[in-house]
Amino acid sequence: MLKEVTEKLFNLHQLDYDTLLYRVFPRFLSEILRKYFRLEVEGSENIPKSGAVIIAPNHSGFSGFDVIVLNDVLIKEGRRIPRILTHHLWFLTRTTSVPAQKMGFIEATYENGIKYLKRKNMIVLFPEGENGNFKPSSKMYQLQEFKRGFVRMALQTNAWIVPTLIIGAEESSLNLKTLKFTRFLRGPILPLPLNVIPLPVKWKIKFLEPIKLPYKASSATDNELVHEISDDIQELMQKYLVEELKKR
């Protein structure tokens, strides 16, 4: 046992700084979080193994741990490396943008989503945006209005949409209220957290059946259709969220 630990430490010592910081450490943190939250994964067979895919989860808890854990699940259970569409604040300076890019984050723009989907990549896109993970805990598990860009992306690239539920994260990171700074910055909102260290609440990630939209790419400009599809997916996810919460 001592020999194995020594060998692992020696191997880590041989790795360069970037590999340690952006590959080894995130995997190590993911393993800790999986155990800490006693993570359960259901429906991983619903993750398409190839082609353009949009993973569309509810955004849970202000901490961002939902992104780390979900990314790890997609790599291990889905056998794919996702591109995660991330808030533009990460990309305001080189200090934050370089680490973000090395961790697989890309700025959450419509153009970036289309670019990676056309390359047959998997992307993770939170339809609620920051309104989801920064909402106060008084609105726990109440899905906020979906932004409809993910539907347009799916229509334009013929991508699968996989509605995904993350349950437990909102209970582990409690938020008192939402702070808005739209007068000073480009529309961001921030949380007012109750706890910094997440509570050890049991988590579950559930992948619902993938959706392939039966419409032509030109339908992406049909605002009424896009709005209807987005609302239908939000209602579907809210329904399953309620069902899962009853089981807890």
- Give the pLDDT confidence score for residue 27 in this predicted structure: 78
- Give the pLDDT confidence score for residue 194 in this predicted structure: 82
- Give the pLDDT confidence score for residue 91 in this predicted structure: 54
Q: Could you give the CA distance from residue 106 to residue 170 in angstroms, rounded to a whole number? A: 24
- The CA R_g of the chain, rounded to the nearest whole Å, is 19
Q: Could you give the CA distance from residue 149 to residue 105 in angstroms, rounded to a whole number? A: 18
| Spans of all domains in the chain | 1-36, 38-247
Per-residue pLDDT of the chain (248 residues; tens, 9 = 90+): 444 544 454 454 555 655 655 566 677 788 899 999 999 999 999 999 999 999 999 987 777 789 889 999 999 999 999 999 986 665 566 665 555 566 668 888 999 999 999 999 999 999 998 888 888 889 999 999 999 999 999 999 999 999 999 999 999 988 888 777 655 555 567 777 788 889 999 999 999 999 999 999 999 999 999 999 999 999 999 999 999 999 88
Which residue reads 């920051």 in tokens?
130
Residue 188 has phi, psi (to 5 degrees) of: -80, 160
- Give the pLDDT confidence score for residue 105 in this predicted structure: 80
pTM: 0.84
SS3 label, residue 20: helix
- Give the pLDDT confidence score for residue 86 in this predicted structure: 82
- Give the pLDDT confidence score for residue 106 in this predicted structure: 82
- Give the pLDDT confidence score for residue 201 in this predicted structure: 94
- Give the pLDDT confidence score for residue 36 in this predicted structure: 95
Kindly tell me the burial class for residue 110, based on how many C-beta atoms sit within 10 Å of its own C-beta (0-12, 13-18, 19 or more): middle
The CATH architecture of the domain made up of 38-247 is 3-Layer(aba) Sandwich (3.40)
Q: Could you give the CA distance from residue 155 to residue 18 in angstroms, rounded to a whole number? A: 37
